[in-house]
Chain A
Amino acid sequence: MNAFRKFALTLRNSAIICSAMASFAVADTYPDKPVEMVIGFKPGGFSDAMARKLSEPLTEILGQPIVHTYKGGAGGSIAATAVKDVPADGYTVVVATSLTFGFNPLQGKVNYTKDDFDYLLTMARFDTAFVSLANKPWTDFNSMIEHAKATGMPLKFGSLGPADRLQMEAVMKATGVVIIPLPVKGGANMMQQILGGHVDFGLSGGPHVQYVKSGEMIALAASGSEPLNATPDAPTMSSLGYPAVSYNSVIAAPKGLPDDVKAKLEGALLEAAKSEGFQELVTGRYVGIPPMNGSQTAQSIEEITKAMQAVISASGN
């Protein structure tokens, strides 16, 4: 009996000491449990592949396992909504895109804003291009617009989402050419629509590269302001004077991380993104960029928000 009481006392004392220690030295002990990574896409896609690859070195650096949760849908907004309200303790991060934070709130359909998050990392930029078949009577975006002007034929445009549709509406407003946006589900279907001649041109985030290499397709323009990795010769939308839309892969956490936790997590993520394994994956798929740290990412989200506001006002919505 005595021995049991003694044991219980020791247990209680050590519990008190532990909790006291925990409240003192957060950064020293962080992370002392697995970190949950909420992935805003369905498992198996390229965003998922990147998140998994990133988690390998990240586990080693943080010394804790990374647990993946999938909350796909609504362009990452479901995951962002879920993560917004969890405690900002560094044990939950969300993997989404720059448009999840910079564009979706502008449409007024989600109940978060870009300011609800602490941005930690930009790990890749999708190599999104407007592409068409090579045997069309044009060679790039501008000559396609000129051709449409000259013939008066409407252009059928394969669209992957609301952002590119607004971008094309802005082009329509600026040039007077009629562009019919046809929604296409996913990059693979887009290839089928383009190859089968069901659309004149479409947006693609990567599957087109093999067809460009084989000479069946051409990249008309980069959707954003940065040149493409796979086809660097294609002009960018901003160089052509149209609003630009970039698609970056971003990791964020709910707003209000303790400074020391944020510094540690941000550093670990940046180091993981620079690791050889991760870079091999992203450069192989033409989405590699020098990883951006938290403040650079926050800055780029600001810029993308401004750019998207410009797209919305240019498209007249």
Chain B
Amino acid sequence: MDALFAGILSALSIGPVIAILIGVSIGIFMGAIPGLTAAMAIALLSPVTFGMDPLTAIAFLVGIYKGGTFGGSISAILLNIPGSPEATATAFDGYPLAQKGQVKRALQMALFASVGGAVFADFLLYVVAAPFSKVALKFGPAELTFVVLFAFTFVAGLTGRSMSRGLTACAIGVLCAMVGLDPMTASPRLNFGFIELQDGLPLLPIAIGMLGVTEVIIAVERSLERRRSNPNAAAATVGHSSGPGIGLAEFFSYWKTILRSSLIGSAVGALPGIGGSMAAFVGYGAAKRFSKKPEEFGSGSVDGVAGPEAANSAVVGGSFVPLLTLGIPGNVTTALLIGTFLVHGIEPGPHVFKTQPVLIYGIFTILFVANFFNLIVGLLGSGIYSHIVKAPEYISYSVIGLTCLTGVYAASNSIFNLYVMIIFAIIGYFMKKFDYSFVAFLIGFVLAPEFELSFRSFILVAQGDPLGLLLQRPIALLFCIMTIVAVLRISWTEYKTAQHARRSA
């Protein structure tokens, strides 16, 4: 108990608090700029922390991590360009909301859901970190295979106009993810001789190309049509006003979505190697599945913003479970954090709870304080950013186009990735025209590598008897059954709807 109070007090001293505030501000800023991510900010700024005392250094980096997770949603909502990969799902409904003149509502929902998800996950971390880390260890190839398979069917089946369309888009995403090195034999496949493709197609250029650049192409098309029909029309804007914000009562009416996504995010965060993008997609899919108005999704549903944002922010708390209890970073950002821990002589792992309890409680406190600052800084900003949508279309889309180009280049220093972005913008344009879901494509692309690796390992370990192995792994079996149930239920619902439509027609 003494350690608890000592930890809280040490985290609430002036150094760490200022460090968190600066960190959160930097994080939101970096997260909001497409191409710059929280992970990059931490990589660039971690040497700055070497001179600080350990808790201040951690406070600074945790602030960046938390701020960056929210910051990505700002450009996703305003410009349809995810500022960071995990904000991709936020753009699906955030941007339509902005177009409908509800930008402030979307931004504040993203912020509140982020903070809500983060607070929930941090609390969960505080309570169940130690026991949960034991469960996380149980996730081997068999379990991951079926967890990912479940996420696949669940999200791809729900986000498209129909399950077959969703699964088609998902399969194309999986195909694109096959580019690169074969994970088993390390021989290159589908790279057509480009060494740049040896590590596979990069996510950020694809996401920015499909969402941002495609949007620009379509906007150009739209304005050409408008000019043809009415040459004297005034320049259009993305949204006409920033609209009202979101009240506390309205926020709480979305508590179900936020709670559900927080749980998803915490669980996904605690599993090594999956990461924030998947949590956001699953959070989005779940929000749609349980929504009373699933037809609103894709054209501006507030639930569609809350779902992914609560999930990807809850990942932060979740990812601290394996980080602190096992010394295992679950994603790039926590891998960077571990590097900094080690520099400061802190070796995260099963022993750190016993050897440095004050520090651990200090870190827990920092997580909560960072949420608070995230809320304040985000709220101050949302009023300012939301004016961006009032700019005339020809200005805002020029800026979007330019930001896409510079963002992709800045993220990788690679012209090649710009070509990738442009090619996927063209693919995205046709997908949009033929009504294939970006969401399903991206979920296929994001999850395929993990799925392939786990599935092929599972088959290898099974030594010719996959069913026998599956029956020995209860967690895997559970997810296998859930997948089958999900497929049956979605097909049944679609069949019913089709029948209904036929009868009424």
Contacts and interface: CB of A to CB of B under 8 A. Distances in A.
Contact of B335 (A44, A182, A195): A44
Interface in A157-172: 161-162, 165
Contact of A189 (B39, B46, B186, B328): B328
A74 B342 contact: no
A48 B340 CA distance: 12
B195 A81 contact: yes
Contacts, number: 102
Given A74-B195, A161-B186, A189 B457 contact: no
Contacts of B47: 52
Contact of B196 (A42, A78, A109, A193): A78
A193 B335 contact: no
A48 B185 CA distance: 27
Interface string B158-195: 00000000000000000000000101111110000001
B327 A44 contact: no
Interface stretch (A65-73, A136-144, A258-266, A302-310): A65-73
Contact of B327 (A72, A107, A183, A191): A191
Nearest to B139: A196
Contacts of B199: 72-74, 78
A72 to B, nearest CB: 8
Given A44-B339, A188-B272, 17 more contacts: A44-B335, A71-B413, A73-B198, A78-B199, A81-B195, A109-B187, A154-B463, A162-B186, A180-B461, A183-B183, A185-B273, A188-B327, A188-B329, A191-B327, A192-B137, A192-B139, A198-B140
14 contacts: A46-B339, A49-B343, A73-B199, A107-B186, A154-B463, A162-B185, A183-B183, A185-B273, A189-B328, A192-B136, A192-B326, A196-B138, A210-B349, A211-B349
Contacts of B46: 44
B394 to A, nearest CB: 36
B393 interface: no
Contacts of B328: 188-189, 191-192
A183 B457 contact: yes
Given A109-B187, A192-B328, A285-B342, A43 B461 contact: no
A208 B198 CA distance: 29
Interface string B332-376: 100110110011000101110000000000000000000000000
Nearest to A162: B186
A196 B271 CA distance: 12
A43 B141 contact: no
Nearest to B338: A188
Nearest to A109: B188
Given A44-B42, A154-B463, A210 B141 contact: no
Which 5 A-B pairs have CB atoms at the shortest separation, nearest pair first? A198-B140, A43-B43, A162-B186, A196-B137, A73-B199
A227 to B, nearest CB: 23
A161 B185 CA distance: 9
Contacts of A165: 186
A55 to B, nearest CB: 10
B22 interface: no
Say whether chain B's binding surface is mostly helix, strand, loop, or mixed: helix
Which bracket fits the contact residues of A? 35 or more
A70 B413 CA distance: 8
Contacts of B248: none
Interface in B190-234: 195-196, 198-199
Nearest to A209: B347
B137 to A, nearest CB: 4
Nearest to A154: B463
Nearest to A185: B273
Interface residues of B, number: 49
B342 A195 contact: no
Nearest to A56: B47
B350 A214 contact: yes
Contacts of A162: 185-186
A111 B413 contact: no
Q: Please indicate which of the listed interface residues A42, A71, A111 has the most CB atoms of chain B within 10 Å of its own CB.
A: A42
A247 to B, nearest CB: 16
A223 to B, nearest CB: 17
Contacts of B181: 74
A204 interface: no
Nearest to B138: A196
Interface in B56-89: none
Contacts of B273: 185, 189
B501 to A, nearest CB: 45
Contacts of B399: none
B322 interface: yes
Contacts of A44: 39, 42-43, 46, 332, 335-336, 339
B384 interface: no
B40 A74 contact: no
Nearest to A196: B137
B211 to A, nearest CB: 24
A185 B200 CA distance: 14
A211 to B, nearest CB: 8
Q: Please indicate which of the listed interface residues B195, B326, B335, B342 has the most CB atoms of chain A within 10 Å of its own CB.
A: B195
A180 B141 CA distance: 13
Given A81-B195, A161-B186, A195 B460 contact: no
B453 interface: yes
B44 interface: yes
A176 to B, nearest CB: 17
B42 A109 contact: no
B195 A196 contact: no
Given A44-B42, A156-B461, A109 B327 contact: no
B72 to A, nearest CB: 18
A191 B326 contact: yes
Given A74-B195, A192-B272, A192-B328, A182 B457 contact: yes
Interface in B111-144: 136-141
A195 B326 contact: yes
Contacts of A183: 183-184, 453, 457
Nearest to A42: B332
A18 interface: no
A207 interface: yes
A283 B322 CA distance: 26
Nearest to A183: B183
Contacts of A198: 140-141
Contacts of B413: 69-71
